[in-house]
Amino acid sequence: MQVLGIDIGGSGIKGAVVDVTTGELISERLRIPTPQPATPEAVAATVAEICDQLHWHGLVGCGFPAAIQHGIARTAANVDDSWLGANVQKIFCDATHLPCYVGNDADVAGLAEMQFGAGKELDGLVFMVTIGTGLGTALFNNGELVANTELGHLFDSKGREWEHRASDAARKRDELDWKYWGKRFNKYLVTLEQLFWPDAFILGGGASKKFDKFADAIDVAATVTPAESLNQAGIIGAAILASQSHQSLDMTLLPG
């Protein structure tokens, strides 16, 4: 089965057609800069543009940087405030005239890793942590997703949001070398470990490609491994989400 997966990020919107039985990209990977401001109208137009450029007329899955409940954005920490309470799924359906399904961006990246990547052999409680502009989390219990954890917004002991302290954007902002930043990021993992005691952490996002530069700073009881899909996980996982969701199709979310 082929599905168009789209990964909506703060700096870029990426898309490709995915074979959801193998997890392989079977088209070119497009990237269009995220419009600023990233309003619903502007982002929806970019999603439609990706569909047009790939000459796509089928199922579409999208990873979106917010907690998504029944297609509706319940948070807007890293997107324009006008998304708060918006029916993201319906907006994309209307813009593309195609069946679209939307999930939290870290959740869909986790789906890709659990099915085709570093998590495919892992049981028990597994955290996917995406390290980029923010800190995204996806929690899996024996392979089942617990959606919308959004634990990058936890606070440290001084009342500072971890996302603003331990993301890759924070590393660049504070001009930290990988070892120093790794110690800070390790404290975030310790916070998660003391709350949930997971069996494993999978680290995704752009910083995961540099895991060897900060691995020595990580000191948690859980197994820690870099993601295998790297920056393609969001695209692959979005396609998986759509293929799974399509089996319980809600006709009210489709263009009429």
Q: Which amino acid is at 162?
A: W
Q: Show the tokens assigned to 239.
A: 């396609």
Give residue limits of the domains in the chain: 2-107+233-253, 121-227
Q: What average pLDDT does the segment 142-163 reach?
A: 96
Whether a cis peptide bond, with omega within 30° of 0, leads into 37 is yes
* Model confidence pLDDT, tens digit, residues 186-202: 999 999 999 999 999 99
The answer to whether domain 2-107+233-253 and domain 121-227 are alike in fold is yes
Q: What kind of fold does domain 2-107+233-253 have according to CATH? A: Nucleotidyltransferase; domain 5 (3.30.420)
Decide: 106 and 201 in contact? Cβ < 8 Å: no
Rounded CA gap, 134 and 76, in Å?
12
For residue 79, name the pLDDT band (cuts at 50, 70, 90).
confident
Look-up of token digits 């807007």: 76
In terms of phi and psi (left: phi > 0; alpha: psi -120 to 50; beta: otherwise), the region of 105 is: alpha
Q: What is the mean pLDDT of the chain?
A: 94
What is the CATH code for 121-227?
Answer: 3.30.420.40
* Model confidence pLDDT, tens digit, residues 95-138: 999 999 999 999 999 999 999 999 999 999 999 999 988 899 99
Q: Which amino acid is at 173?
A: R
Task: Compare 252 and 25 and report the one with higher pLDDT.
Answer: 25
Decide: 67 and 139 in contact? Cβ < 8 Å: no
Decide: 57 and 66 in contact? Cβ < 8 Å: no
pLDDT at 6: 98
Could you tell me which of 86, 9, 94 has the C-alpha nearest to residue 60? 94
Could you tell me which of 217, 189, 199, 218 has the C-alpha nearest to residue 119? 199
* Model confidence pLDDT, tens digit, residues 12-48: 999 999 999 999 999 999 999 999 999 999 999 999 9
Q: Which residues pair with 129 in a beta bridge?
A: 137, 203
For residue 249, name the pLDDT band (cuts at 50, 70, 90).
low
